[in-house]
């Protein structure tokens, strides 16, 4: 019987998404493991793949369609041993999602080879043989940059074209603008309401990504619903910088280089363990107090901001934290993070010191109870042993959810954090 392909939930909180692109067309034969489409969520663009063999009889949702509800039937697949003309054309959204797991398997947006090893590994004797062998990411970049894949030589397994091949070709290929003819794509280019704006000034209308929409919604909700209290301390960094230099000398052979931020993540986690009243989430008439410090690290990506998580950071070595931060940040910027790698966390850290920002107040990321904003370390006049001296000093500001965290508890947390940074041997004990 026909198989309904439904819009999957790619994260526990996902209610809708954008069907960015179909990787198949009506009439195509698909086998288990074939990639079918790309879906944009509020955090990343993900792919999903077929589990069953069959023929795509109907694409019910056009590429580029925004706001597709989870559970909506987006396509129909007919079993290869059935009459494809008998496939129904229902477009009604499905009431529940579990059946979708029979049809698709979610995979990371930029993984070059699907995780599932099945019939997809066997070369098909159909029109699939005529397809250009390229990763979905390579195809998307080629479309954006106007690269003709038929003229690109692949360096991946079995001659598969990968991202690096397209980028190399793009450097020698003029960029072209790809026109989208679908009604949904055309609607996406329509200007948004501009009441009160001076549209006589030359301007460009930029469609917001799902990530940017989510950031706008969540930050607005946070400032409207969460009473923030801000507490700032100045922290002397000289001892931490000296220890960092010594540790990096010992880690050089392992090709690990600790950053100041790596050490601040560990200090934040240890401070949360020592002051558990700040490692909490407010939840109406109850409050969750966490026994573990999972630190969300703010990472800027082209489409906005994402917060990959260092789980149980208080019990990890600095070298382990450094390695994880590097790997997660790299994958975040490439859209490769899995939902469990950026959802959750008990507190966040945002470091703008590398951009020369001296001090700032960060917005809490609900349902977390706090976020630490870190400024630049700079030479300042400072009292050292009752005498005026020059020291490297950093301003750090904690934003606390005042519904769950009293000012005295927040102050104690900032005091402990300051002590951990100024006496950093506790970070390696």
Q: What is the DSSP string of 322-390?
A: HHHHHHHHHHHHTT---GGGTS--SEEEEE-GGGT-----PPP-TT-SEEEEE---EEEEEEETTEEEE
pLDDT value, residue 265 = 98
Q: Does residue 169 contact residue 151 with C-beta atoms inside 8 Å?
A: yes
Tokens of 11: 């994260």
SS3 content of the chain, % helix, strand, coil (to 5): 35, 25, 40
340 part of the active site: no
Residue 339 is predicted with a pLDDT of 82
Q: Where in the chain is the domain with CATH 2.40.50.100?
A: 3-123
Task: Give the separation between CA 429 and CA 426, rounded to whole angstroms.
Answer: 5
Give pLDDT, residue 131: 55
For CATH 3.30.559.10, the residue range(s) in the chain are 227-427
* CA–CA separation, 366 and 146 (whole Å): 41
Marked catalytic residue, from 180, 203, 340, 402: 402
Start-end ranges of CATH 4.10.320.10 in the chain? 132-189
Give the pLDDT of residue 42: 67
pLDDT tens-place string over residues 149-204: 877 887 766 677 877 778 778 766 443 333 333 444 334 434 446 667 777 889 88
Q: Which residues of the chain have pLDDT under 70?
A: 1, 12-13, 42-43, 80-131, 136, 156-158, 171-195
Alpha-carbon gap, residue 205 to 203, rounded angstroms? 7
Task: Report CA-CA distances (Å) from 102 to 4, 216, 336.
Answer: 10, 34, 24
Q: Say which CATH superfamily domain 227-427 falls into.
A: Chloramphenicol acetyltransferase-like domain (3.30.559.10)
If one looks up domain 132-189 in CATH, what number appears?
A: 4.10.320.10
- Structure tokens, 294: 């999972």
How does DSSP classify residue 179? P
φ, ψ for residue 163 (rounded to 5)? Answer: -50, -45
CATH 2.40.50.100 fits 3-123, yes or no: yes
The first and second tokens of residue 210, run together, are 């799902």
Report field, pTM of the whole predicted structure over 0.85: no
């Amino acid at each position: 019987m026909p198989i309904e392909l439904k819009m999957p939930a790619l994260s526990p909180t996902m209610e809708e998404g954008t069907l960015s692109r179909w990787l198949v067309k009506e009439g195509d034969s698909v086998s288990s493991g074939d990639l079918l489409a790309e879906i944009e969520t509020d955090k990343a663009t993900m792919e999903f793949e077929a589990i069953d063999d069959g023929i795509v009889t109907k694409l019910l949702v056009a590429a580029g369609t925004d706001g597709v509800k989870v559970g909506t039937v987006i396509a129909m697949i007919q079993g290869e041993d059935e009459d494809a003309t008998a496939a129904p054309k229902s477009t009604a959204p499905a009431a529940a999602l579990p059946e979708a797991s029979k049809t698709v398997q979610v995979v990371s947006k930029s993984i070059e080879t699907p995780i599932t090893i099945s019939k997809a590994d066997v070369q098909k004797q159909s029109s699939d043989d005529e397809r250009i062998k390229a990763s979905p990411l390579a195809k998307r970049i080629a479309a954006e940059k106007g690269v003709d894949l038929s003229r690109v030589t692949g360096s991946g397994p079995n001659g598969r074209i990968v991202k690096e091949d397209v980028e190399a070709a793009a450097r020698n290929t003029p960029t072209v603008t790809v026109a989208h003819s679908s009604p949904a794509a055309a609607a996406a280019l329509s200007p948004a309401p501009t009441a009160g704006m001076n549209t006589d000034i030359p301007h460009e209308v930029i469609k917001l990504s799902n990530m940017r929409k989510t950031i706008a919604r969540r930050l607005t909700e946070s400032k409207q619903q969460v009473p923030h209290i801000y507490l700032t301390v100045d922290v002397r960094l000289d001892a931490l910088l000296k220890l960092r230099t010594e540790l990096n000398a010992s880690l050089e052979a392992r090709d690990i280089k600790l950053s100041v931020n790596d050490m601040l993540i560990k200090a934040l986690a240890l401070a949360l363990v020592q002051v558990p009243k700040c490692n909490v989430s407010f939840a109406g008439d109850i409050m969750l107090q966490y026994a573990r410090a999972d630190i969300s690290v703010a990472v800027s990506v082209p489409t906005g901001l994402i917060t990959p998580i260092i789980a149980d950071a208080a019990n990890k070595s600095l070298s382990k934290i450094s390695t994880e931060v590097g790997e997660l940040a790299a994958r975040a910027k490439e859209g490769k993070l899995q939902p469990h790698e950026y959802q959750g966390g008990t507190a966040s850290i945002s470091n703008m010191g590398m951009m020369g920002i001296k001090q700032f107040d960060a917005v809490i990321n609900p349902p977390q109870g706090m976020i630490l904003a870190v400024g630049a370390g700079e030479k300042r006049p400072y009292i050292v042993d009752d005498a005026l001296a020059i020291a490297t000093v950093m301003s750090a500001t904690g934003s606390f959810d005042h519904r769950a965290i009293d000012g005295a508890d927040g102050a104690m947390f900032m005091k402990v954090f300051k002590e951990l940074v100024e006496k950093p041997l506790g970070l390696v004990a």
